[in-house]
Amino acid sequence: MKNLVILGSTGSIGVNALKAVRNLGKGWRVLGLAANSNLKALREQARAVKPAYISVFDYAAWKELKASPPRGAKVLSPGVEGLVELSSLKEADIVLNAVTGAAGFAPLLAAIRASKHIALANKEPMVMAGELLMKEAHRWQARIIPVDSEPSAIFQCLAAIKPGAYDAALSRVFLTASGGPFYARKGTLAGVTPAQALRHPRWTMGPKITVDSATLMNKGLEAIEIKNLFSLPVSKIEILIHPQSVVHSGVEFRDGSVLAQLSNPDMKLPIQYALTWPDRAPSLAAPLDLFRLARLDFFKPDFRRFPCLELALYAAKKGGIYPAALNAANEVAVEKFIAGRLRFTDIPAVVEKTLAACRGDSRETLTLAGAVEADGWARQKAAATADGIKKR
């Protein structure tokens, strides 16, 4: 029996994960569920899968949940403590971290230190301090299996070679991006509305990552995540716009051989693989019909129109606290854009100003605490910058 904890069960990844678990059927048990504040969805999920443990981050929601807990479920602490308690439950075999943003940092670290099999969708902590988290995973013999389709594709391709020697074996990594809703759009992007940015052409995802896909920041975050997950230099990562979203990413080995992972764009597949790894099981994703597909296009990204991508690669090269600052500033700017308080093109402006204010030697040795501190500092800086822009 595999006991699974899902952090962020009411979100896009969480809901698909529950479908994947239902598909896997016998031998799988949902041990714990956590969300931020969506009690209605969480209660429905609890009725369906009967978790032994449950928690919500938001205090008001937690009080309500505590007052009438779902039958058979123990309500753990509110806030980050509840997420940490769930991640380190003794009975848990697999922890799926599918919360959004830096909120997933502490629970990811807890799951690592509890030596869990971790299915990781929450890319932001891997951007903040991925190298250190991987070291920690090594130390505690925790397994981090990426859920995100591109890192998952690369992870699957790397199964063809001996683990640990990826840099020596690879000449390039092909990181693909759908391009988001504005890739082919002409003219300025300043007037883009949140509703337009939230309409992704290929994937149905949570609001934050959908906006990140529209600015291409998502690809920058993934480049940093991949660099850290597989210990690769950013210079080997080649980003390609691939509107069909069928080639989820690939690698080129030193001998020139290229491996890529292809499938229809359906997150249920990489989610399920991250749960069943190293095994595979039939999935709910429709099989790929290459005859119907007929063609695959690849374009170079336009760094000038999508400055977030350039900023992310810059932060990756600088290292130290820069990626954590990039991520935090982006989270703040995206939230304000969705709330109608910033323009689309203000997102990179806020990120750029925050990075420009980063003090300290970027090569200084980053610590896990330092990354969290940089996250807090960058949030304040980004919020102040955003307020300045709004007043203009």
Q: Would you tell me which residues interact with Mg ion (CB under 5 A)? A: 148-150
Distance CA(23)–CA(386), nearest Å, equals 44
Q: How far is the CB of 250 from Mg ion (least distance, A)?
A: 14
Rounded to an integer, what distance in angstroms lies between the CA atom of residue 87 and that of residue 144? 13
User: Is the sign of the CA dihedral 40, 43, 47, 50 positive or negative?
Assistant: positive
User: How far is 299 from 219, CA to CA, in rounded Å?
Assistant: 14
CA atoms within 13 A on the CB side of 336: 27
* Residue closer to Mg ion, measured from CB, 148 or 375: 148
Q: Which is nearer to ligand NDP, 13 or 20 (CB)?
A: 13
Residue 16 or 276 having the CB closest to ligand NDP: 16
Binding status of residue 8 toward ligand NDP by CB under 6 A = yes
Sign for the pseudo-dihedral over CA of 95, 99, 103, 104: positive
Nearer to ligand NDP, 123 or 353 (CB): 123
Query: How many residues at the interface with ligand NDP, by CB under 6 A?
Result: 29
Of 38, 231, 244, 345, the one binding ligand NDP by CB under 6 A: 38
In sequence order, which ranges of the chain are alpha helices (DSSP H)? 12-24, 39-49, 59-67, 79-87, 105-113, 124-140, 149-158, 166-169, 194-197, 207-215, 217-230, 268-276, 290-293, 307-318, 322-338, 346-356, 368-391
The residue of the chain with the least Cβ separation from ligand NDP equals 11
Of 4, 5, 12, 18, the one binding ligand NDP by CB under 6 A: 12
Six-digit token pair at 377? 């500092």
Least distance to Mg ion from the beta carbon of 391, Å? 35
Query: Does 10 participate in binding ligand NDP (rule CB under 6 A)?
Result: yes
Nearest-CB residue to Mg ion? Answer: 148
Site for ligand NDP in 289-348 (CB under 6 A): none
What are the counts of helices (DSSP H) followed by strands (DSSP E) for the chain? 17, 11
Decide whether 121 or 374 has the Cβ nearer to ligand NDP. Answer: 121
Angle (CA) 27 30 36, round 5°: 160
The one of ligand NDP, Mg ion, none whose footprint includes residue 252, by CB under 5 to 8 A per kind, is none
Question: Measured in Å, how far apart are the chain's first and last C-alpha atoms?
Answer: 58
Among 267, 350, 355, 386, binds ligand NDP (CB under 6 A): 267
241 binds, among ligand NDP, Mg ion, none (CB under 5 to 8 A by kind): none
Q: Binding to ligand NDP by residue 36, rule CB under 6 A?
A: yes
Report, in Å, the least distance between residue 293 CB and Mg ion. 20
Least Å distance, CB 86 to ligand NDP, is 10
At 290, the amino acid letter reads L
Distance CA 360, CA 288 (A): 49
Q: CA 7 to CA 157: how far, in whole Å?
A: 27
Please provide residue 219's backbone torsions phi and psi, each rounded to the nearest 5 degrees: -70, -35
Residues in region 100-159 near ligand NDP by CB under 6 A:
100, 103, 121-124, 148
Of positions 209, 229, 371, 374, contacts ligand NDP by CB under 6 A: 209
Interface residues with ligand NDP (CB under 6 A)?
A: 8-14, 34-38, 57, 83, 98-100, 103, 121-124, 148, 203, 205-207, 209, 267
